[in-house]
Amino acid sequence: MEKVNTTDPLNISDPPAGVETAPGQIQSTPAPTQKKRSIGGLLLYWTRDLIFSVVLAIVVILFLYQPVKVEGTSMMPTLDDQERIFINKFIYRLHFGHIDRGDTVVFWFPGDPTKSYIKRVIGVPGDRIEVDHGLVVVNGRKLIESYVPDEYRDQTSMSERAVPPDEYFVLGDHRSSSNDSRAWGMVPRRYIYGKAVFIYWPLDKMGILR
């Protein structure tokens, strides 16, 4: 904490001999100036703040966010191949966060848990999912998917499936280029370990992921 100089800045004294003052006039001297902070003190102050910032960043990255690189085209145009994003690793840990339809999630691939996939949640537990010539139907209603341009859709169909408890139905946004729940089924809740939240590279796409 910076010290506050509480010395009275007004020095009141009798005038020196030979100096006349008008009746009632008080002669004052300039206020004492605050001692300048030394260069060593400034360096110590900046170093302390820098160390604190670095430690805080490390804690946030290790326990809350993780940088990952997107590989493949299954999430285009939302995410392009080789883009870098941050995923929130804490939000789904210990069932802390609720996984909603529309979330872009990162999970261990059920067919090979050594691999990680990134897809969009389309069906949550209890939903009934059907694909009719490329159009997704959830609980009997066509799903509005503004994130899937017409040129990224395919014409495949899938008969209705019910999403079991603690499992999720996921699809890539690039439907004609995605290996997803239509092919290998649901993703168990315990396999989902992160939510994609922010694009940090390339710079022209930097921003919150929707």
What is the DSSP track for the chain?
Answer: ------S-S----PPPTT----TT-----PPPPPPPPPHHHHHHHHHHHHHHHHHHHHHHHHHTEEEEE--SSTTTTTS-TT-EEEEESSTTGGG-S---TT-EEEEEETTEEEEEEEEEEEE-TT-EEEEETTEEEETTEEPP-TTS-GGG-----EEEEEPPTTEEEEE-SSGGG---HHHH--EEGGGEEEEEEEEEESGGG-EE--
Q: Give the pLDDT of the chain (210 residues) as one tens digit per residue.
A: 332 333 333 333 344 444 444 444 545 555 544 445 588 778 887 888 888 888 887 776 667 888 999 999 999 999 999 999 999 988 887 666 789 999 999 999 999 999 999 999 999 999 999 999 999 999 999 999 999 999 999 999 999 999 999 999 999 999 999 999 999 999 999 999 999 999 999 999 999 987
pLDDT digits (tens, 9 = 90+) for 155-164: 999 999 999 9
The residues that are catalytic are: 74, 119
**Fold of the CATH domain 68-208:** Umud Fragment, subunit A (2.10.109)
pLDDT digits (tens, 9 = 90+) for 14-56: 444 444 444 445 455 555 444 455 887 788 878 888 888 888 8
